[in-house]
Amino acid sequence: MRTFWLMILSMLLLVTGSFAQEDDPTVTTSFRQAYVFAGPGATYRDVGILNPGVPIKIIERNKVGNWVHVQMYDIDGTVTLDGWIITGFLNYPDELRFSEVPVNPFLPDAETGSVESGALAELYAEPMAGSISPLMRAVLEQGIDAGRDPYLVTKIGDSLIVSDLFLNLMNQTDEILGPYDTIATAIDAFTVVDDSIANDIGMASFSVLDPMWAQDEQCQSGETPLDCELRVHQAGIAFVMFGPNDVRSMDEERYGREITTIVETALAVHVVPVLATFSVHPDDELYWQGINFNRELVRISNEYEVPLINLWAAAQILPEYGLDEDDTHMQNSGFNFLKYDSGHEAWYGMSLYNLLALVTLNDLLTMIEDIEGAS
């Protein structure tokens, strides 16, 4: 038995040595045992288990970068494990940059055929951070013509996003991005409104449309918090998050109407609204109500062609679905700056949400720069 394990150790050392000679930043190891899947998501079938410390090579990634396609090789170069792993389980080499790792354009973020529930399959079918509709280009152009700042971002929501830990960290300069150099340009380009009039604790999808809640001295008589915010700060992009609290006070039909009104109000004044599904714990007594709320968000996003972040789907593999102890708010990493050098996006819901938001902003930035280049 001792001889057998010595042979195994020798083989691992030889493989590790050959990788090290290549000095390839896409060669790494995991720091924990992890399942490997046939595609970039846990709905794909699992194809094996990766043990910590075993060398693997990153072949490609998904659009966001939070899943990577890896291969493990035998001593003679034969592929012995081939599949996808959540990136946050890996040790990140210092020189690893996702801008240099190819993106797989073919595999979707989920294999919906393996999902038994039609409602859940409907949600899984939406990408974590989808492409931006050409219709939003027109909205951005009209906003620029109307004097809006396309590089200014505001927040419309309740306590889920009122914290400075969501998006506002972009206003700082102390981020540590690790391999996620792909989001650096978005961080540099955009500024986030610090005191959105339409984002507060206790706000709801209906109260943001109610003039009685417009208490800010900058608001005009009869103006709703949403109208007031969109007028006062003149942001070109608005991230919208309502749902986990609304689910306890209304049904999905009313929720759909309120979100539709928010979207229509933003589009009417040439603001791009970015919607997001929200994480729901399966043990929550209102779980299926939350699922139906998320389905409404998907429907509205598709109907109006506005950007959608599928946080619900992305967070399914996170511990406790990315939620804090109250099963409502997203869990924070404890760091008060953007930190993506140690896999936080695989453990903390807020880190994941920020990452998906930055990927979406990066897509919008490309569109904005194209508009400015054509003018």
Domains defined along the chain, listed by start: 2-107 (2.30.30.40), 118-374 (3.40.50.1110)
Q: Is 233:267 a contact under the CB 8 Å cutoff? A: no
Q: What is the pairing mode between strands 27-28 and 56-61?
A: antiparallel
Confidence of residue 330 (pLDDT cuts 50, 70, 90): very high
**Cα 187 to Cα 81: distance, rounded to the nearest angstrom:** 36
Q: Is 139:267 a contact under the CB 8 Å cutoff? A: yes
Mean pLDDT of 219-234: 98
**Cα 155 to Cα 274: distance, rounded to the nearest angstrom:** 9
Question: In whole angstroms, what separates CA 112 from the centre of its chain?
Answer: 19
Mean pLDDT of 128-149: 98
Q: What Å distances lie between residue 78 and 6, 27, 112, 130, CA to CA?
A: 21, 16, 31, 35
Q: Is 300:256 a contact under the CB 8 Å cutoff? A: yes
Average pLDDT of the chain to the nearest whole number: 95
- Phi, psi values for residue 235, rounded to 5°: -70, 150
Lowest average pLDDT, out of 5-9, 51-55, 295-299, goes to 5-9
Q: Is 272:305 a contact under the CB 8 Å cutoff? A: no
* pTM higher than the cut 0.85: yes
Asked if the model's pLDDT at residue 183 lies above 50, the reply is yes
